[in-house]
């Protein structure tokens, strides 16, 4: 018969790997869960970019008489100007789904996070695994977008195709991690997520220089771009994609804002998430 000490030792030995690789186990679970709406991810990652590029980059462009984007050699086609912003938007839109309703499901509707918390997996690993899985989805969507805009001839070189998904990921995390902190603090969804979509994401999408330079907006609307991860990611994407003029100081400011929101959002989200699971 197995003694109590032997059983305890076996249980402790079985907990070593979850304790060490808990975030990866959580990420694997989240990625497997995404398979249930895998076609939505594929269509959103491929179909939506294609429609945007056709409708806005090529359709709307026929009505524009004045160029809005400029590279080292002069004006660039409208599709070239708008493509990096659409890529960043696609990455950010992933977080408006995965860092809202998925979080509420984990805490309340399906209570999966509490089940994980009852295992050897630590609360910090739960939030870390969630971020890893969502980051993987953002990379997929951003890469699909980058390949499509390359096929449309809207990106200058192969190096840009490789870098744009990383900028999309950074922009997505800069917006998504503060959103994750907010979602983790909610006990119920009483319309807050719909409000985020309508009154935060949509104005950011429309007024962050996505379709035209921020400088063309009234001065009193410029602040939306300045605080928007989408604008900072889009501007960096344009510099990488077609060489939009940008000083080293401006590049540093864009990166500092995105990294600051990402790092700060991560620490706050982790603290809120862990605090709730310990409470």
Please list, in sequence order, all residues whose beta carbon lies within 8 angstroms of the beta carbon of residue 220, skipping any fewer than 6 positions away.
none
Contact 174, 261 (CB under 8 A): yes
Q: Given this model, what pLDDT does residue 193 score? A: 95
Encode pLDDT of 123-179 as tens digits: 999 999 999 999 999 999 999 889 888 888 888 777 889 999 999 999 999 999 999
What is the tally of structural domains in the chain?
1
Is residue 25 included in any domain, yes or no? Answer: no
Q: Between these two residues, 13 and 54, which has the higher pLDDT value? A: 54
Is residue 24 included in any domain, yes or no? Answer: no
Is residue 262 included in any domain, yes or no? Answer: yes
Is residue 206 included in any domain, yes or no? Answer: yes
What are 249's two structure tokens? 């100081």
Is residue 78 included in any domain, yes or no? Answer: yes
Is residue 27 included in any domain, yes or no? Answer: no
Q: Given this model, what pLDDT does residue 60 score? A: 66
Q: Given this model, what pLDDT does residue 65 score? A: 67
Confidence band (pLDDT; 50, 70, 90) for 7?
very low
Give me the residue label for tokens 């984990």. 106
The candidate with the shortest Cα–Cα distance to 233, out of 217, 214, 257, is 257
Is residue 156 included in any domain, yes or no? Answer: yes
Q: Which domain, by its residues, includes 88?
A: 39-278
Q: Given this model, what pLDDT does residue 142 score? A: 93
> Where would I find the H helices in 2-122?
4-14, 16-34, 38-42, 48-52, 78-98, 101-104, 112-117
Contact 169, 138 (CB under 8 A): yes
Give me the residue label for tokens 């195709």. 161
What are 117's two structure tokens? 């918390």
Encode pLDDT of 223-257 as tens digits: 988 999 999 999 999 999 999 999 999 999 999 99
CA 254 vs. chain centroid, Å, equals: 16
Confidence band (pLDDT; 50, 70, 90) for 57?
low
Q: Given this model, what pLDDT does residue 9 score? A: 45
Q: Given this model, what pLDDT does residue 1 score? A: 47
Question: How many Cα atoms sit within 13 Å of 77 on the Cβ side?
Answer: 17
For the chain, give the percent of residues with pLDDT over 70. Answer: 87
SS3 call for 70: strand
Whole-prediction pTM: 0.89
Is residue 10 included in any domain, yes or no? Answer: no
């Amino acid at each position: 018969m197995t003694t109590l000490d032997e059983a305890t030792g076996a249980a402790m030995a079985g907990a070593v790997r979850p304790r060490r690789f808990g975030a990866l186990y959580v990420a694997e679970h989240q990625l497997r869960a995404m398979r249930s709406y895998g076609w939505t991810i594929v269509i959103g990652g491929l179909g939506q970019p294609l429609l945007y590029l056709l409708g806005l980059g090529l359709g709307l462009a026929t009505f524009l008489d004045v160029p809005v984007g400029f590279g080292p050699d002069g004006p660039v086609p409208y599709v070239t100007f708008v493509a990096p912003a659409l890529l960043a938007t696609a990455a950010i839109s992933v977080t408006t789904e995965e860092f809202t309703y998925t979080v509420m499901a984990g805490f309340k509707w399906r209570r999966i996070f509490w089940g994980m918390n009852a295992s050897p997996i630590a609360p910090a690993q739960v939030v870390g695994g969630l971020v890893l899985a969502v980051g993987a989805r953002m990379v997929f969507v951003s890469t699909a977008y980058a390949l499509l805009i390359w096929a449309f001839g809207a990106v200058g070189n192969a190096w840009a195709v490789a870098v744009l998904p990383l900028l999309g990921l950074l922009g997505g995390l800069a917006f998504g991690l503060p959103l994750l902190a907010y979602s983790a603090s909610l006990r119920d969804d009483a319309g807050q997520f719909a409000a985020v979509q309508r009154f935060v994401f949509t104005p950011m999408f429309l007024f962050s220089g996505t379709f035209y330079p921020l400088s063309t907006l009234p001065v009193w609307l410029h602040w939306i771009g300045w605080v928007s991860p989408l604008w900072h990611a889009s501007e960096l994407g344009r510099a990488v994609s077609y060489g939009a003029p940008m000083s080293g100081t401006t590049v540093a400011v864009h990166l500092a804002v995105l990294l600051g929101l990402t790092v700060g959002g991560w620490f706050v989200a982790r603290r809120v998430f862990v605090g709730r699971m310990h409470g």
